[in-house]
Structure 1
Amino acid sequence: MITGEKMSRLRVIGGIAKGKRLKTRNVKHLRPATDFVKEALFNILTNQVPGSLFLDLFAGSGSIGIEALSRGALKACFVERDPLNAELIRENLAITGFTEQAEVYICDIIRGLYLLSQKEYRFDLIFVDPPFRKGLIEPTLDLIWELDLLVPGGLIITRSAKKEEIKVQKNPLRQEKYGDSILMFFC
């Protein structure tokens, strides 16, 4: 068990693992999406998730990628720089029974994206949830597009703070506000 780890109100809200409680850590930089944000996100993605290859960047506890697996994604890859968070993701995958459908990469986003590119992965859905107000969304999106990690017709979803200014090459297809979070959808 990881120091500071605890079972929390964080849970899987839909699919075959619905109701399973996930572990989290009591640290300031870990801010899992609320059930409200997760439910809104997966209501939008209902038709795209089943059978998809899902990438969870800045994965934290892994709750978004695990939610995708619960709702029928074939595989999820998680990129997380913090080794304790990566171990937390592995524990949460074990709790939900998705260990065999997942890969966890313990590295920074740039290295992680290059590793995935070298393995010739191309994803149907990519969730980008960096620390708020750190300017990480733009370079992450640029590198995803440069490395051609998204299949034609795939979606990249970003989560940012409500008043965070984001300047990217492409306009989002859709933008939704949920509490303090903004979700933007790019293709």
Structure 2
Amino acid sequence: MSFRKCLENTCAMRIIAGHAHGRRLKAPRGLLTRPTSARARESIFSRLAVRMDLDGVRVLDIFAGSGSLGIESLSRGAAHVTFVDSSRDAAAAIRANLAQLELSDRAHVLVSEVHRALGELGRAHESFDLIFVDAPFKDDMSAEVLAMLGEFNLVAPAGWIVVEQSKRAPAAPSAPEAHERAFVATIGDHRIAFYRRPAPAPSVE
């Protein structure tokens, strides 16, 4: 979907799978939000599906925009999603999408700059099974955000981080300490890197 079309009309996308399959989502007007394409979302969730069960997981959607990644997770069975975006227009779009899908009780929207939001979540000892990082392509903070996720211990054991970048960006960022970069895929104009925090080894009695 072109930025010009987003500027002239409120962008609309559809949920790919789950109980809300086919329902439309609205994105904020203007050029500041770049909705994740349906092709990229489908690829992300197809790859996750063979590696984790989304039922009951806690999700963090950073630079959430329309909330499409987090809401797709809710449709597929996630228990709760925390959305982070500094734009009030984006937050309004996320809340409207959640309300129309009757998902508001399974979500929390943080309207905050990302450093402040992650600091607050860290101090609250929050942890998440799945985290999406979709920083603006022109101001790619992916490496910095990954480091903060490790610093604040925001990834649950066996949890996953999905980082979406332009394929023209430098190589995918290194994994945070105690995490590993599992694999990287290129889908259209996107480079999508998957990171995992290994589960602790079982104790031996």
> TM range, normalised to the smaller chain?
over 0.9
**For residues 147 and 89 of structure 2, what CA distance do their matches in structure 1 show?**
28
Count of aligned residue pairs for this structure pair: 184
Q: Secondary structure at the match of 2:137?
A: coil
Quote the offset at 1:166 in angstroms.
Answer: 4.3
What residue number does 1:157 align with?
162
Q: Equivalent of 2:112, from 87, 107, 110? A: 107
- CA deviation digits over 1:42-77, x for unaligned, max 9? 111123322110000000000100000000000000
**Cα distance in structure 1, aligned partners of 2:138 and 2:185:** 18
Q: Of the candidates 12, 15, 21, which is equivalent to residue 12 of structure 1?
A: 15
Q: Secondary structure at the match of 2:43?
A: helix
**Structure 1 segments (4+ residues) deviating >3 Å:** 4-9, 166-169
CA 1:115/1:5 → structure 2, altered by over 3 Å: closer, same or farther?
Answer: farther
Q: Counterpart in 1 of 2:46?
A: 43
Identity across aligned pairs (percent)? 34
Gapped regions of structure 2 (runs ≥ 5):
1-6, 197-205
Equivalent residue, structure 1, for 2:184: 175
Deviation at 1:84, TM superposition (A): 1.0
Q: Distance in 2 between matches of 1:5 and 1:112?
A: 31
Mean CA deviation greater in 89-98 or 163-172: 163-172
Picking from 47, 58, 79, the partner of 2:84 is: 79
- SS of alignment partner, residue 37 of structure 1: helix
Instruction: Give me the TM-score of the superposition, normalised by structure 2.
Output: 0.85
What RMSD in Å do the two structures reach over aligned CA positions?
A: 1.6
Structure 2: which amino acid aligns with 1:155?
W
Distance 1:13 1:109, change over 3 A: same
The 5 A counterparts of 1:1-150 are 8-46=11-49, 47-150=52-155
Q: Which runs of 5+ in 1 are unaligned?
A: none
